[in-house]
């Protein structure tokens, strides 16, 4: 049956008006397809324009985005059934004796086999001691799972609009950051302890980067209104207190003085928590000298990163540091600090990128002996970010050299950057 045509006889005088009303509504909704499922997210690390673009592609049924979305929803459905995470769950208290203090143990430190008690521990760079990942004593597995679940659920809410995911994010955030019985104290005084040496190390500050994933989730679910205004304010207070710890405690300041990837991840953390706490001045103080203080000292003109190359896993750590730099570059845009230096032919970020990017090829092998094999899929999100920052570099083409199946379902098709 024909609904309407120019040659049809119109018996109902209201039919033309109805027809044009329908046409108007179709045009209206097609122009506002991105806003149907909620407001634009005010994320800090994740590129908002990229999120909107990905959502448009998903609405249009783009197969590349759909594959990643399906995997995201599978993971989110699983995360819905996980119990909330809290630092108070570990059986061994932090050295402080306060159950609310985070505690973890350095992964590359092992018992000394020549000593009866194994103390003091000795370092084996690149070799993970399984005991350092034991959740009965260490919060490191917990903070990792907490970060993974909140990010997954936050993105699932943003792309699906289903409130159940937002409610779960809110529950996880309350337990980790807010509830008096379970909240984490805003410090990492006892992170990456080295038995027989100390009760916490500067390198343990690195653990804190994972909380960025959780707070990004809080921004992704903001329009769901599943958290009270007072709770949102409390999260900002927690972020402000943690930023204060990052910028005043000796342990954290020693980490800030590092000369490798630890320094870049420190800056990413400090900048993020300042921005989250509505403290752009604090972010500027962290990022204002990032290019000269970090990139010019860590990256040679040819793009090599000597301090990462000196490690037993040089490709892994080169990629790892590059990821941190891209995260900082994204955050820096909020305070008008240019890290990308797109118009600078001598950009150190671009040089580091071009030094590492060719290793996406399966037959490109690191020239010196290493411990284990680097997962080249870690290059995938970097190449996608690079293609957006430097569109004349054709970095997206290099992603085709990586594992096709893993690439198809990679979360980077949905959001960038993501803290790792």
Name 35's bridge partners.
none
- What tokens does 35 get? 């806003």
pLDDT at 64: 85
How much is the pLDDT for 32?
38
User: What is the C-alpha to C-alpha distance for residues 219 and 240, in angstroms, rounded to an integer?
Assistant: 16
The CA distance from 134 to 141, in Å, is 7
The candidate with the shortest Cα–Cα distance to 353, out of 391, 404, 312, 302, is 302
CA distance 79 to 74: 9
Q: What is the DSSP letter of 115?
A: S
Which CATH superfamily does the domain covering 258-420 fall into? Answer: Chondroitin AC/alginate lyase (1.50.10.100)
How many alpha carbons fall within 13 Å on the CB side of residue 405? Answer: 0
Task: Tell me what pLDDT residue 39 has.
Answer: 72
Q: What is the pLDDT of residues 36-65, one digit of tens each?
A: 445 789 999 999 999 999 999 999 999 989
User: Residue 75 contacts by C-beta under 8 Å, 6 or more apart in sequence?
Assistant: 152, 156
Q: Distance between CA 81 and CA 415 in Å, rounded?
A: 24
Dig out the tokens for 10 from the structure: 């119109």
Nearest in space to 319 (alpha carbons), one of 278, 267, 355: 355
SS3 of residue 110 by DSSP: strand
Query: Would you say 326 and 417 are in contact if contact means Cβ atoms under 8 Å apart?
Result: yes
399 close to 384: Cβ distance less than 8 angstroms: yes
Q: How far apart are CA 254 and CA 260, in angstroms?
A: 12
Q: Whole-angstrom Cα distance, residue 136 to residue 142?
A: 10
Distance CA 57, CA 65 (A): 7
The span from the CA of 210 to the CA of 213, in Å, is 6
Is residue 293 within 8 Å of residue 302, measured between CB atoms? no
At 292, which helix (H) or strand (E)?
none
Nearest to 341 by CA among 389, 383, 287, 395: 389
Residue 137: cis peptide before it, omega within 30 degrees of 0: no
Q: State the span(s) of the chain assigned CATH 1.50.10.100.
A: 80-253, 258-420
3-state secondary structure of 21: helix
Residue pair 135/90 in contact by the 8 Å Cβ criterion: yes
In angstroms, the CA 56 to CA 54 distance is: 5
What does each C-alpha distance from 51 to 54, 56, 89, 183, 321 come to in angstroms? 5, 9, 35, 30, 24
Q: How far apart are the C-alpha atoms of 384 and 393, rounded to whole Å?
A: 11
Task: Report the alpha-carbon distance of residue 377 to residue 71 in Å, rounded.
Answer: 17
Q: What's the CA gap between 14 and 117, in Å, rounded?
A: 90
Peptide bond into 45 cis (omega under 30): no
DSSP string, 218-271: HHHTGGG--S-HHHHHHHHHHHHHHHHHHHH-HHHHHHHT-SSHHHHHHHHHHH
Please, what's the largest Cα pairwise distance for the chain? 99
Nearest Cα neighbor of 331 from 237, 215, 230 is: 215
Q: What is the pLDDT of residue 38?
A: 53
From the candidate CATH numbers 3.90.1580.10, 3.90.1150.10, 3.40.50.720, 1.50.10.100, the one assigned to the domain spanning 80-253: 1.50.10.100
Query: pLDDT tens track of the chain, all 420 residues?
Result: 333 333 333 344 444 444 433 433 333 334 334 344 457 899 999 999 999 999 999 999 999 899 999 999 999 999 999 999 999 999 999 999 999 999 999 999 999 999 999 999 999 999 999 999 999 999 999 999 999 999 999 999 999 999 999 999 999 999 999 999 999 999 999 999 999 999 999 999 999 999 999 999 999 999 999 999 999 999 999 999 999 999 999 999 999 999 999 999 999 999 999 999 999 999 999 999 999 999 999 999 999 999 999 999 999 999 999 999 999 999 999 999 999 999 999 999 999 999 999 999 999 999 999 999 999 999 999 999 999 999 999 999 999 999 999 999 999 999 999 999
Handedness of CA 155, 160, 162, 163 (dihedral sign): positive
Backbone phi and psi for residue 369, each to the nearest 5 degrees, phi listed first: -60, 140
The number of beta carbons lying within 10 Å of the beta carbon of residue 316 is 21
Specify the residue for token string 């699932």.
Answer: 156
Report the predicted TM-score, pTM, of the whole model to 2 decimal places.
0.89
């Amino acid at each position: 049956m024909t609904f309407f045509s120019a040659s049809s006889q119109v018996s109902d005088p209201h039919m033309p008006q109805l027809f044009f009303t329908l046409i108007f509504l179709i045009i209206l909704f097609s122009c506002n397809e991105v806003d149907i499922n909620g407001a634009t997210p005010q994320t800090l690390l994740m590129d908002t324009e990229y999120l909107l673009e990905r959502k448009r592609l998903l609405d249009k049924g783009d197969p590349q985005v759909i594959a990643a979305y399906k995997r995201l929803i599978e993971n989110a459905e699983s995360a819905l059934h996980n119990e909330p995470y809290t630092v108070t769950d570990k059986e061994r208290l932090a050295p402080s004796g306060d159950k609310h203090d985070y505690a973890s143990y350095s992964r590359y430190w092992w018992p000394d086999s020549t000593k009866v008690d194994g103390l003091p521990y000795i370092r084996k760079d690149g070799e993970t001691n399984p005991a350092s990942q034991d959740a009965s004593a260490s919060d490191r597995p917990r903070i990792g799972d907490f970060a993974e679940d909140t990010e997954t659920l936050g993105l699932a809410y943003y792309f699906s609009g289903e409130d159940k995911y937002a409610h779960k994010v809110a529950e996880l955030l309350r337990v980790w950051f807010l509830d008096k019985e379970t909240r984490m104290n805003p410090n990492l005084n006892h992170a990456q302890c080295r038995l027989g040496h100390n009760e916490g190390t500067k390198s343990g500050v690195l653990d804190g980067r994972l909380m960025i994933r959780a707070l990004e989730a809080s921004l992704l679910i903001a329009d769901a209104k599943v958290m009270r205004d007072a709770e949102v304010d409390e999260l900002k207070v927690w972020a402000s207190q943690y930023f204060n710890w990052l910028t005043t405690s000796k342990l954290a300041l020693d980490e800030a003085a590092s000369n490798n990837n630890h320094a870049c991840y420190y800056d990413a953390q400090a900048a993020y928590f300042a921005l989250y706490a509505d403290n752009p001045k604090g972010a500027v103080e962290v990022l204002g000298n990032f290019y000269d203080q970090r990139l010019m000292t860590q990256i040679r003109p040819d793009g090599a990163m000597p301090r990462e190359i000196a490690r037993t896993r040089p490709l892994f750590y080169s990629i790892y540091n590059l990821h941190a730099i891209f995260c900082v570059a994204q955050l820096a845009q909020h305070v008008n600090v240019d890290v990308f230096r797109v118009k600078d032919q001598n950009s150190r970020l671009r040089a580091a990128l071009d030094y590492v990017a060719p290793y996406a090829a399966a037959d490109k092998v690191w020239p010196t002996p290493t411990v284990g094999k680097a997962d080249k899929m870690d290059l995938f999100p970097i190449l996608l970010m690079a293609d957006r920052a430097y569109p004349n570099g054709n970095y997206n083409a290099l992603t085709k050299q990586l594992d096709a199946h893993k690439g198809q379902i990679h979360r980077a098709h949905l959001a960038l950057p993501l803290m790792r």
